[in-house]
Structure 1
């Protein structure tokens, strides 16, 4: 009997389906000589500092630096009550260990995600029970039935994954040591009043610094005026075109008077076409998505999306077997996937109107081992989704279109450049035109090209100047970072980075030298917002005052340095490849932590964050429809202040009826219900995944004291009518 451990219940179900196992028990599936059980991500976590030593329960400067001689794990904390362990995790851990010890089980297989995190999750659960049985590793990039069956044939002994486990544990221990020590010491030193700690992290601070630097660049930017001279010419057959005055390839001028002189000089002069070049150019499709590029594309194109949301939706598509592993940094596919990719392409394109233009080819742009790091790029699988939520549809369509584009004709356009010369004038007038000849891959996303047509003229043709003007312009400051641009800087550690950097350059950036990993960058951006260091303004990301003060005051400057953090991430990547030892890396991190604690202790005494204790005033949202009491907000719901006297009126925040339509009760909704007897709610989700709006009422049942929801699509029942 073989025991397979999956990272999540949904993945265990995929494996069970592939092996045709229908028999589900409490915490596992069993049948056909297999038992399939699951974790809920991490079931165990590193000890808290106070678990090693009770004196660490109180933060005192003298207690730091604190580095355990031996790192230990415990069942993960209950998120609602961190003083006790999570009951669900405890129960599932017991189930897994009971199954591992069954006499009929002779092989244990870790089927957690094929990455650092997945390796640590599987190993931390399995080796906790000190098994004496064979342990294997199932390494998959997708959860389709075909891949599961093939993967089981090609399993590796788990011992072969030691470098991946070392990298995962090194990252986990390093972040614990840096985070616990520097967050505690920084909070004690720089925060006045009790409140949230000043978060200090290995990936958090350099990311904050990227946003801070851009904000400062914008603030210190001094706009400058510049001028252009634009002329309008007319050909013999009355066609018009514009040209920009250019000298030595320069068309922007600081001195307006110089252009005014030229403007006066060109009036009534003869103009001639002195050069015409026509060049055909090719436009290749953008490379396949890795996670950072997918997050950048979606957050830039669709309102209200964050990198974190893109990852969650992509993870859902992966677990439902529709796409390959999303947490990848690669923009190409392994060369061994040629045959499989051809089948996927055929399955996805049979019903497309432009399917005749789709042709499978093995190209270096798509299949290139040199551009694959651990996992291939994100592509669809052969399993076609029948039903997707609107969010899933957005992400899946982007991935599918990007995949199909690779096998369509290269787009082509013709670029025409005209040079017009005016007698006795130093300089020329340049005009550029563009005509799309072949749409090619642009059809996959219905990208419309804008043509800029120039009249048909030949060299030496005489043309007439019919209009001219000097136009005023102002230099623009750099743009604030968006999630798209920030992800690119994090991915490349700022190396060779330009706003319009080509995917070709991005693909060749030194692997592993980055801020965070594809899997953690979204979490970092979200955390920066949650701890109050940055905020979003539309698509832009800006520093909060607290974030600015931290960058300007915190004395451990290495933590803001992209090079330093990039080197740490590169070392983790090298551990994963077996080129660097875990011991060496941790020695570096521990000594850095000790030095940093000393730097903070001996540094200047300043206040970065002052926390004022503010008494919460309880807002009355309206009158209770049951007893006339005051409706106020509680931790879990909106209830009546007369509950001690027996009033049972409450609207739960995670109300099941609302949750079935992917909504939570909000203060605004409750106020409207109490005032108008109905609330207009937007963005409800039907069972089929489509969005709709409706009026909701919350009415007392005639035969008991409880209330039920009613839905209306017309405006009525307002003000008791």
Structure 2
């Protein structure tokens, strides 16, 4: 018997439909004439919690950190126990197994870990399903691969999961305990990807809060050439007065003097540079999930999770390929489907797609068709299934439109234009102008100006001219402008920042290295991470555009953590290692050893961390913690949040701590308390032995001066 194990029931049902013979449905599996199909519900197995390694870890204590498992444990998730029993029984009965997890590292791991858990020794092959239409599934069934080919992909997923456990379980406890010592009641979750993502928003908000508007001037002049009038922009020289640190003209008096200088000059201006070059802009690549999420966020205002959920629905309706793809290239073999896909779009109900597809040329071969760029999956594209447009929701229509638009663009020629750059010299000053003439709109016919940022210098249409030509100065103007603060993140722009994390890396050498790495997080997890930061109260969405604003809890967390956790440098390095591991160029054991050492070092740092106290009753004994109500064997009392480092304790007086009436006059930090000694009662400092001040007791009050003995 051949057993197919799919990642989820919907995928299992589609595989079963494409196997020959009668189909019979059972509880947790489907039988066919060519084998049995079963499934998981995502991860059937989960990683053990610290308390499941040792009961002592159920209580959070700084002295127990770091927790580093000697042998990693997996447990069957409570919600999956019944289905796990079905899968385990079928594995024992199978002669051969086909791994049908999603074609990414997480999909690879969640079936592999089940096979290892049950100690499977049957041969395992791998099916890669990038689309769920019948043609694609049958083609994949006919091209099964040895599952061992994907061992390194599984190692990469295992490394990510265990590293996340080490960071999350240990550092969340360490910094939460540090915050609680200072009286904060918040739980501070620390994540390898989540924390630097949150830090991006916190830093951006502080940039905005600290931003000071600065005025500057843009000077431009109109010139008359024999072939027409054009506008050029003034460029300051190296020693120009009145410039700010960014090289902008900020002094209004200098701007006014410049205008007067230009207007009073008698000599004719001259063209000192005139260069025209033909340029070609290759077709925009098809879409990965991140590219789709960013594009849909800008065009429709959709948050990343909605885009992923919608793309998943289109995939399950067999209209588009696998949605959680980090690849924006296509396999060369897929070219065979191009004519059918374009014909379907041409006959569809969406007018723009139909018109574009009708003018597309299936013979055009863009840079997207590149087998060398393909891993387990390829860019998201339409399948050969015809789309029933009217049956889709508005969101499904919009997401399908973007996917199809990017696909059709591959069958249009490159965008060709002539770019002219002109340099003008007048009154000892330099001016530049540039313009372009569209020679062949090509694929941009589908996009127009979508996503293009206009620059003042590129807006003009230039008349024909040559170097050395004389031109007449007509007029000049200085437009006052103001600098603007950086924009707040939205879910879409934050996701784009996670994808292009090298832009936020501090180390310049590392910045170059990480341009080739696909950011932090994965295509499947980035949207979830942002959503969780909102749900857990670290970010809130404001206004119509849903700007992400950090909460007080976010500031507390980011300010408490060292830069190793809040900047993306370390996380991005880890992502690069995971990518190398997937390619077989890095070791799981070495990576986890590094993670364990890193975790231990950060836990040690958290042990000595001092966070600003929060609470109405600062501890009078240590001055670092706050008094909090507690219940002991003798009833309610108030104790220091830094216990056991500080053992200050005070009786409760109508819901308030009954603080000592007498501050120690010697150390000023402790308080005097009544002590029973061998010679009777006396008053001693609570900071003993650091402070050895002692005083006689006089009718229940400390008597001055200090008594002999310890007081000396």
| TM-score class, shorter | 0.7 to 0.9
Instruction: Determine the C-alpha separation between the residues in 2 that align with 1:232 and 1:8.
Output: 66
Which of 219, 222, 229 is the equivalent residue of 1:229?
219
Which of 583, 587, 593 is the equivalent residue of 2:599?
593
* Contact map agreement 2:193 2:520 (CA 8 A) in 1: yes
Which of 520, 524, 535 is the equivalent residue of 2:540?
535
1:520 aligns with 2:496: no
* Residue of structure 2 in register with 1:7 after alignment: 7
Instruction: Determine the C-alpha separation between the residues in 1 that align with 2:196 and 2:615.
Output: 19
Q: CA deviation at 1:144?
A: 2.3
* Residue of structure 2 in register with 1:143 after alignment: 132
* Residue of structure 1 in register with 2:498 after alignment: 490
Instruction: Determine the C-alpha separation between the residues in 1 that align with 2:615 and 2:10.
Output: 43
CA deviations on 1:396-453 (whole Å, 9 max, x unpaired) are 211111111122022234445566665xx22255444444443321232455899956
1:391 aligns with 2:387: no
1:480 aligns with 2:488: yes
Instruction: Determine the C-alpha separation between the residues in 1 that align with 2:358 and 2:24.
Output: 45
* Residue of structure 2 in register with 1:67 after alignment: 68
Instruction: Determine the C-alpha separation between the residues in 1 that align with 2:136 and 2:219.
Output: 63
C-alpha change, 1:490 and 1:370, in structure 2 (3 Å) is farther
Which of 353, 356, 363 is the equivalent residue of 2:355?
353
CA deviations on 1:550-595 (whole Å, 9 max, x unpaired) are 222224x322232211222222222222222222222222222222
Unmatched runs of 5 consecutive residues or more in structure 2: 241-246, 349-353, 617-625, 629-712
C-alpha change, 1:134 and 1:430, in structure 2 (3 Å) is closer
* Contact map agreement 1:550 1:608 (CA 8 A) in 2: no
C-alpha change, 1:254 and 1:36, in structure 2 (3 Å) is same
1:44 aligns with 2:51: no
Instruction: Determine the C-alpha separation between the residues in 2 that align with 1:371 and 1:120.
Output: 22
CA deviations on 1:117-176 (whole Å, 9 max, x unpaired) are 112221233343334533322222222222222222322333443222222222222212
The secondary structure found in structure 2 opposite 1:329 is: coil
* Contact map agreement 2:178 2:609 (CA 8 A) in 1: no
* Residue of structure 2 in register with 1:544 after alignment: 551
* Contact map agreement 1:413 1:434 (CA 8 A) in 2: yes
Which of 181, 184, 204 is the equivalent residue of 2:194?
204
Which of 284, 287, 306 is the equivalent residue of 1:286?
284
Instruction: Determine the C-alpha separation between the residues in 2 that align with 1:198 and 1:148.
Output: 45
* Residue of structure 2 in register with 1:405 after alignment: 409
TM-score (norm 1): 0.73
* Residue of structure 1 in register with 2:609 after alignment: 603
* Contact map agreement 1:229 1:244 (CA 8 A) in 2: yes
CA deviations on 1:501-556 (whole Å, 9 max, x unpaired) are xxxxx99965546322222222222222223333334354343332223222224x
1:579 aligns with 2:568: no
The secondary structure found in structure 1 opposite 2:564 is: helix
Instruction: Determine the C-alpha separation between the residues in 1 that align with 2:425 and 2:127.
Output: 70
Instruction: Determine the C-alpha separation between the residues in 2 that align with 1:553 and 1:473.
Output: 39
1:156 aligns with 2:157: no
1:310 aligns with 2:307: yes
Larger mean CA deviation between 453-462 and 156-165 belongs to 453-462
* Contact map agreement 2:271 2:470 (CA 8 A) in 1: no
C-alpha change, 1:478 and 1:510, in structure 2 (3 Å) is closer
Q: CA deviation at 1:353?
A: 2.3
* Residue of structure 2 in register with 1:263 after alignment: 259
Q: CA deviation at 1:23?
A: 2.7
Q: Give the alignment's Cα RMSD to 1 decimal.
A: 3.6
* Contact map agreement 1:22 1:29 (CA 8 A) in 2: yes
Q: CA deviation at 1:388?
A: 2.0
Instruction: Determine the C-alpha separation between the residues in 1 that align with 2:123 and 2:537.
Output: 48
* Contact map agreement 2:502 2:515 (CA 8 A) in 1: no
Instruction: Determine the C-alpha separation between the residues in 1 that align with 2:575 and 2:99.
Output: 26
1:109 aligns with 2:98: yes
* Contact map agreement 1:273 1:418 (CA 8 A) in 2: no
Q: CA deviation at 1:319?
A: 2.7
* Contact map agreement 2:281 2:414 (CA 8 A) in 1: yes
* Residue of structure 2 in register with 1:299 after alignment: 297
1:189 aligns with 2:178: yes
Q: CA deviation at 1:457?
A: 6.2
Which of 98, 102, 109 is the equivalent residue of 1:120?
109
C-alpha change, 1:496 and 1:362, in structure 2 (3 Å) is farther
Q: CA deviation at 1:463?
A: 6.8
Larger mean CA deviation between 431-440 and 590-599 belongs to 431-440
Q: How many residues align?
A: 589
Q: CA deviation at 1:316?
A: 2.3
* Contact map agreement 2:179 2:185 (CA 8 A) in 1: no
* Contact map agreement 2:342 2:357 (CA 8 A) in 1: no
Structure 1 segment 661-672 matched on structure 2, within 5 A: none
The secondary structure found in structure 2 opposite 1:13 is: helix
Q: CA deviation at 1:482?
A: 3.9
The secondary structure found in structure 2 opposite 1:136 is: strand
TM-score (norm 2): 0.74
CA deviations on 1:207-255 (whole Å, 9 max, x unpaired) are 2222333333344444332223334456789x76544334559995233
Q: CA deviation at 1:199?
A: 0.6
Instruction: Determine the C-alpha separation between the residues in 2 that align with 1:175 and 1:520.
Output: 13
* Residue of structure 1 in register with 2:203 after alignment: 213
* Residue of structure 2 in register with 1:378 after alignment: 380
The secondary structure found in structure 2 opposite 1:14 is: helix
1:91 aligns with 2:82: yes
Q: CA deviation at 1:204?
A: 1.3
Q: CA deviation at 1:36?
A: 1.4
C-alpha change, 1:453 and 1:184, in structure 2 (3 Å) is closer
* Contact map agreement 2:346 2:358 (CA 8 A) in 1: no
Q: Which structure's CA Rg is the greater one? A: 2
Q: CA deviation at 1:395?
A: 1.4
C-alpha change, 1:476 and 1:236, in structure 2 (3 Å) is same
Larger mean CA deviation between 586-595 and 390-399 belongs to 586-595
Instruction: Determine the C-alpha separation between the residues in 2 that align with 1:61 and 1:355.
Output: 63
Instruction: Determine the C-alpha separation between the residues in 1 that align with 2:574 and 2:541.
Output: 28
* Contact map agreement 1:513 1:567 (CA 8 A) in 2: no
Which of 441, 444, 451 is the equivalent residue of 1:442?
444
* Residue of structure 2 in register with 1:173 after alignment: 162
Instruction: Determine the C-alpha separation between the residues in 1 that align with 2:599 and 2:221.
Output: 64
1:325 aligns with 2:322: yes
Q: CA deviation at 1:349?
A: 4.2
* Contact map agreement 1:535 1:543 (CA 8 A) in 2: yes
The secondary structure found in structure 2 opposite 1:353 is: helix
Instruction: Determine the C-alpha separation between the residues in 2 that align with 1:510 and 1:245.
Output: 34
